């Protein structure tokens, strides 16, 4: 009987350790936000709002729609993104996208400095603190894949990009988007935006 008890105790300890190991892996996986930017081996929570900013017709048969995803400390006031607590650090992921349709299409958008359908000419990840005047912005290139469902105002965004040959950046966002129509900007404001992007 004694010979039987020792193996049973060892077996019980083995399963107990294995269970502990499993739960720690689960805890590690839950530390990764469901909507995030992965940059410099760190995850940044993009659990705040997503806004499609419609700037209307950019050129003949070309439309400009910007896409912004923000950290949880930010909210959409119906027109702009605002911070809830100005003492907190915030971050945003931004794309200036171009399409041949009046709304974003599902599919792959690739970086291109020349505006054309299914491209973006600006991709930026920004970290900031409004109160402390901290601001850090990086530009990236690569591919962003969108799955847009206009019927229920939902979008899935996946970024596979790079800042330079040694620095990768990726992101995932899915959920409901907000829509803001800036297409009625004056010609002067539209021209200013074009010139600003041309000088970047």
2 located within any domain = no
pTM of the model: 0.78
User: Are 160 and 142 in contact, with CB atoms under 8 Å apart?
Assistant: yes
8 located within any domain = no
List pLDDT tens digits, range 118-144.
999 999 999 998 778 889 999 999 999
Containing domain of residue 82, as a range? 35-198
Q: How many structural domains comprise the chain?
A: 1
11 located within any domain = no
Q: Going by DSSP bridges, is the β-strand pair 50-59/42-45 parallel, antiparallel, or unpaired?
A: unpaired
174 located within any domain = yes
User: Are 83 and 130 in contact, with CB atoms under 8 Å apart?
Assistant: yes
79 located within any domain = yes
30 located within any domain = no
List pLDDT tens digits, range 172-188.
999 999 999 998 864 45
168 located within any domain = yes
List pLDDT tens digits, range 52-86.
999 999 998 999 999 999 999 999 999 889 999 98
3 located within any domain = no
């Amino acid at each position: 009987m004694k010979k039987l008890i020792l193996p049973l105790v060892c077996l019980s300890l083995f399963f107990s350790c294995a269970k502990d190991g499993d739960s720690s892996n689960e805890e590690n996986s839950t530390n990764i936000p469901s909507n995030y930017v992965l940059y410099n081996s760190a995850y940044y929570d993009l659990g705040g709002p997503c806004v499609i900013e419609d700037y209307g017709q950019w050129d003949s048969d070309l439309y400009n729609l910007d896409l912004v995803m923000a950290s949880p400390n930010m909210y959409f006031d119906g027109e702009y993104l605002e911070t809830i607590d100005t003492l907190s650090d915030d971050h945003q992921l931004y794309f200036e996208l171009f399409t041949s349709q009046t709304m974003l299409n599902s599919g792959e958008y690739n970086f291109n400095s020349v505006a054309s359908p299914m491209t973006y000419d600006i991709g930026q990840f920004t970290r900031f603190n409004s109160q402390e005047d901290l601001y850090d912005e990086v530009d990236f290139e690569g591919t962003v894949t969108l799955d847009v469902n206009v019927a229920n105002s939902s979008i899935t965004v996946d970024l596979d990009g790079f800042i330079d040959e040694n620095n990768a950046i990726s992101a995932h966002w899915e959920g409901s988007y907000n829509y803001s129509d800036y297409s009625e900007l004056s010609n002067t404001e539209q021209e200013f935006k074009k010139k600003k992007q041309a000088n970047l």
